[in-house]
C-alpha cells in the first residue's frame, strides 16, 4: 500500500480554521495522519543483482506474514504481533537450508558461454580497498558520504581566488633566493667511489631467508 493512497483520503482539503487553537489542532491531526501512513505503507527495498527465486511454500509464508503485520500495525493486537514474529522465525529457518543448497549448486552452473565463470572469478579475486578516515575542517569523516563531501569541498576550495594580496617585493625575494640556491657551488666531487670489494662484503651480509624478487631470482642465486 502506497503512502500517497493512504494520505490523500485522510487529510481534508480545506479545514475550518478560525483561531490559533484551530491551527494547532489541524497540525496535530495532519501529523498523526502522516505518522499512521508511514507505519501502514509498504517500504521499498532495492535489490542489487538477480532476484532470489524462493519456492512457493516460503513465498506464501512471506505473504501471510506481511498481511498479519499490517493488521498488527492497524489494530496493535498482541496476537497479530505474536503470529507475525512466529512466521518470521519460520521463514528464516526455511530460507537458511535453501540458501545453503543454492550455494552448493551454484559452482556447477557456471560456464564459459555466458561469461559466468569470468564474472565469478573477477568478483572473488577483487580486493576490497577500504578508504581510511579523512580529516576535514570540522573533524574526521568516517562514512562514504562524509568522505565524498570532504573531497568535494577540498577540491572546490583549491580553485578559489587567493585572498592574499599580490606582493611583488616578496615574490622577487623568493626568486632571488631560489636562483642563489641553484647557482651555489656544490662540492660533490669529493665523494669516494664504492669499490667492488665493499659491494661483495655488503652482499654477503644479506640474509637468505627472504623471498624471491619480482624477477623470481632469489638472493642466493644472485651471489
Which long-range contacts (C-beta less than 8 Å, at least 24 apart) are formed by 191-200? none
C-alpha to C-alpha distance for 71 and 82, rounded to whole angstroms: 12
150 vs 133: CA distance, rounded Å: 10
Q: Average pLDDT, stretch 101-126?
A: 83
Average pLDDT score over residue span 114-140: 79
pLDDT per residue as tens digits for the range 146-187? 888 888 888 888 887 777 777 888 889 999 999 888 887 666
- Mean of the per-residue pLDDT values of the chain: 80
> What is the DSSP annotation of 150-216?
HHHHHHHHHTSPP-S---HHHHHHHHHHHHHHHHS----TTPPPPPHHHHHHHHHTS-S-S---TTS
Confidence at 21, pLDDT banded by 50, 70, 90: confident
Does residue 218 contact residue 212 with C-beta atoms inside 8 Å? yes
Q: In percent, how much of the chain has pLDDT > 70?
A: 80
Going from N- to C-terminal start, the domains of the chain cover 1-11+21-43, 56-125, 131-159
Please tell me the least confidently modeled range out of 60-69, 71-80, 103-112, 157-166.
Answer: 157-166
Who contacts 86 (Cβ-Cβ below 8 Å, separation ≥6)? none
At which residue does the C-alpha cell 500500500 appear? 1
8-state DSSP, 76: -
How confident is residue 189, by pLDDT bands cut at 50, 70 and 90? low
Q: How confident is the model at residue 58 (pLDDT cuts 50, 70, 90)?
A: very high
Which one has a higher pLDDT value, 49 or 9? 9
Task: In whole angstroms, give the CA distance from residue 84 to residue 82.
Answer: 5
Least confident of 27-41, 93-107, 192-206: 27-41
Nearest C-alpha neighbor of 138 from the set 128, 150, 148: 150
Residue 37, number of CB atoms within 10 A of its CB: 19
pLDDT of 73 higher than 70? yes
Q: What is the mean pLDDT of residues 189-196?
A: 76
User: How high is the pLDDT of residue 18?
Assistant: 80
pLDDT reported for residue 13: 67
Amino acid at each position: 500500500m502506497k503512502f500517497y493512497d493512504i494520505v490523500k483520503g485522510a487529510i481534508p482539503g480545506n479545514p475550518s480554521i478560525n483561531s490559533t487553537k484551530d491551527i494547532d489542532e489541524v497540525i496535530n491531526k495532519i501529523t498523526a495522519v502522516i505518522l499512521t501512513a508511514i507505519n501502514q505503507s509498504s517500504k521499498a527495498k532495492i535489490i542489487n543483482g538477480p532476484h532470489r527465486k524462493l519456492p512457493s511454500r516460503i513465498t506464501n509464508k512471506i505473504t501471510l506474514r506481511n498481511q498479519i503485520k499490517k493488521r498488527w500495525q492497524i489494530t496493535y493486537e498482541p496476537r497479530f504481533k505474536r503470529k507475525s514474529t512466529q512466521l518470521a522465525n519460520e521463514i528464516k529457518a526455511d530460507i537458511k537450508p535453501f540458501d545453503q543448497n543454492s550455494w552448493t549448486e551454484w559452482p556447477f552452473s557456471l560456464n564459459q558461454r555466458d561469461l559466468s565463470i569470468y564474472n565469478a572469478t573477477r568478483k572473488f579475486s577483487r580486493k576490497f580497498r577500504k578508504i581510511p578516515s579523512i580529516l576535514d575542517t570540522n573533524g574526521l569523516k568516517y562514512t562514504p558520504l562524509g568522505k565524498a563531501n570532504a573531497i568535494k569541498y577540498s577540491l572546490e576550495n583549491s580553485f578559489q581566488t587567493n585572498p592574499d594580496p599580490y606582493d611583488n617585493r616578496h615574490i622577487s625575494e623568493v626568486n632571488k633566493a631560489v636562483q642563489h640556491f641553484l647557482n651555489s657551488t656544490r662540492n660533490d666531487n669529493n665523494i669516494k667511489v664504492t669499490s667492488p670489494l665493499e659491494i661483495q662484503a655488503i652482499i654477503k651480509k644479506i640474509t637468505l631467508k627472504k623471498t624471491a624478487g619480482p624477477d623470481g631470482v632469489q638472493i642466493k642465486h644472485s651471489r
